[in-house]
Amino acid sequence: MCQKYCNPGPLNGSAPNLVVVEHDRLGHPHYKCAFNTQACEQLNAWIGGFDSIVKRMTLGNFDWFMHVMLFLHTLIVIEKQAEKRMRSGVDVADEEDEEEVEVEDE
């Protein structure tokens, strides 16, 4: 079942939400995973810590709880990323300028 529905590399177009066609700088197409499976696994492990809390909830409470927890998790991740950038001394604007320079050099 997993091979049929979750195969990360089907080349027949049967899983457009798992594999997408992306073009490199020269315009050559290549296949790429559409999402980060490692990040999904880490998030699922984090959510699994709330198993004892959510298994007794009603459906409405569960939906609300998960929405709030995912929102808070997103805020925490974004904050940690910003702190990491500040500690390394790299500004977001500097990163964008570097990318533009790399493209112009080619």
Extents of the domains making up the chain: 1-35, 37-106
Do 29 and 22 touch, CB atoms closer than 8 A?
A: yes
d(CA 58, CA 84): 38
pLDDT tens for each residue of 89-104: 765 555 444 444 444 4
- Rg over alpha carbons for the chain, rounded to the nearest Å, is 20
* Over residues 29-57, mean pLDDT: 84
Looking up tokens 């999904």, which residue turns up?
40
* Over residues 61-86, mean pLDDT: 92
d(CA 37, CA 44): 10
